Chains A and B, each alone.
Chain A
Amino acid sequence: MVVDVDSATWDREVIQSSVPAIVDFWAPWCPWCKRLMPDFDSLSNEFVGQLTFVKVNVDQGPEIASRYGVQTLPTLKFFCAGRPLAEIVGYLPRTSLKTQLEMMLSNHKNCLAQSSRLKTNA
């Protein structure tokens, strides 16, 4: 399952997530985003309990995209304990995307235990 997030729900769904989160920054005008989305949706079912799948429509959440320096769509950012630790810029086919997500989880497997929780804006 992929959770739609905006400024009001960002802290709860991403910063406070009990597992790492992968955030898809997308927009309705972006053709590569449309191409990526079905794969992103289906991969969310393969990482249940390991990774929270989140998407941010930059039209509705421009301040979030701006805060994290998103300048290309789609951009995927990997967050752990509220911090962006890795990213994928641009479209990737499903196989490569899955490999990259597995690699991010492997590279940062202890990130929750090692990190202090960021204070939220709430």
Chain B
Amino acid sequence: MSENLYDIIIVGGASAGLTAALYASRQNLKTLVITKDVGGQALLTDHIENYPGFGSIGGFDLMTKFEEQAKSFGTQFVYDEVTSINANEDTCFTLTTPNGEYDTCAIILAFGKTPRDLGVPGEMQFKGKGVSYCAVCDGPLFKGKTVAVAGSGDQAMDAASLLSNVAGKVYLIHTWEKPLGDQEILQNLNANSKVEFLPFSHVTEILGDKSVSSITVEDSRSKQRKQLQLDGVFVELGYVAKTDFLKDLVRLNGRKEIEVDRECATSQPGIFAAGDITDVPFKQAVISAGQGAIAALAAYNHVQKLRGGSSVRADWKVKKKP
């Protein structure tokens, strides 16, 4: 065992992970959150209008409140990325990051999903040089320029809508006849002269010198390819579960999401999961938070069982903060 021994380690620092941290810390568990960043996908949302208790709140503000509340009960944070988890003979685990090792007998996996890549030549080369995965962050840098959005769902339509407010022209490259999603946004995009739809199409290559100067787009029906001169490509293909490093440890479903039971327990005793990375059918901040609370209480009971202590069914006492 390393010197970094914790009662519980939570991997991920957004709605699920931070709520789990709050609940675990309130049970006086020595709690560590290991996360690359705090906030996850919620950070990119300007207005969250369906988180109870807040009429409307920005994702950044909401996640900051989560973080502060967890810290106020003693949660510790390490800003790093877990690259492997190994089960030891004594039913506990070692988590490895590029900068250290951490031991625990209870883990909550709550690291959400990551943006899906296009997977075409030029994408990695021009990442940050015209290839973007965040229209909110980078859109305003393309004022008056020509950009493309690759994607077929709500996320792509939102990005096209946002970009049409700043860019000179927006290509929306989508897989089927029409993008799939909110009809009102689609109607607005149809009426927007800056937006050109490229149906049945996908990007095959991104080209440029120091930054993006064009892309190649293929029509999936005719297989004909054409080149579009432009300055930026926004990849809005949704999110994927990057769980390959866990495949020998916990059971995953066909979408590589972590399968959990009603106590958020995975197939591996001692490992729990919560939030978007699980097979829960609805991906919402409030659901992630609820799952985080369940996972933390179940993990607490697991720790208590190992210690020979009593379990809890609820957390409603006023606790003294450290």
Residues of A at the B interface (CB closer than 8 Å) are 27, 29-35, 58-59, 65, 69-73, 75, 89-91, 93-96, 99
Q: Which residue of B lies closest to A26 (CB)?
A: B137
B168, CB-defined interface residue at 8 Å: no
CA distance A27 to B134 in the complex (A): 14
- Contact among B132, B137, B142, B210 for A31, CB-based, below 8 A: B137
Using Cβ atoms and an 8 Å threshold, which residues of chain A touch B128? Answer: 71-72, 75, 89-90
CB-based closest 6 A-B pairs: A93-B79, A89-B128, A72-B128, A31-B43, A30-B137, A31-B60
B74, CB-defined interface residue at 8 Å: no
- Contact among A32, A59, A96 for B134, CB-based, below 8 A: A32
B138, CB-defined interface residue at 8 Å: yes
B36, CB-defined interface residue at 8 Å: yes
Q: Which residue of B lies closest to A74 (CB)?
A: B137
CA distance A93 to B211 in the complex (A): 26
User: Across the interface, do B232 and A71 meet the contact criterion of CB distance under 8 Å?
Assistant: yes
Q: Which residue of A lies closest to B129 (CB)?
A: A71
- Contact among B36, B136, B211 for A71, CB-based, below 8 A: B211
User: Across the interface, do A31 and B79 meet the contact criterion of CB distance under 8 Å?
Assistant: no
Q: How far is the CB of A69 from chain B (nearest CB, A)?
A: 6
- Contact among B44, B59, B141 for A70, CB-based, below 8 A: B141
Q: How far is the CB of A46 from chain B (nearest CB, A)?
A: 15
B38, CB-defined interface residue at 8 Å: yes
User: Across the interface, do A31 and B141 meet the contact criterion of CB distance under 8 Å?
Assistant: no
CA distance A66 to B210 in the complex (A): 13
User: Across the interface, do B136 and A72 meet the contact criterion of CB distance under 8 Å?
Assistant: no
Point out which of B36, B37, B141, B210 has the most chain A C-beta atoms below 10 A from its C-beta.
B141
Per the 8 Å Cβ criterion, residues 286-321 of B in contact with A are none
CA distance A106 to B232 in the complex (A): 33
User: Across the interface, do A71 and B130 meet the contact criterion of CB distance under 8 Å?
Assistant: yes
A-B contact pairs, 20 of them (CB 8 A): A27-B140, A30-B137, A31-B39, A32-B134, A35-B43, A35-B60, A69-B129, A69-B210, A70-B141, A71-B130, A71-B232, A72-B132, A72-B134, A73-B137, A89-B127, A91-B37, A93-B35, A94-B79, A95-B80, A96-B98
B185, CB-defined interface residue at 8 Å: no
Given A93-B79, A94-B79, verify A72-B211 contact (CB < 8 Å).
no
Given A89-B127, A89-B128, A93-B36, verify A73-B59 contact (CB < 8 Å).
no
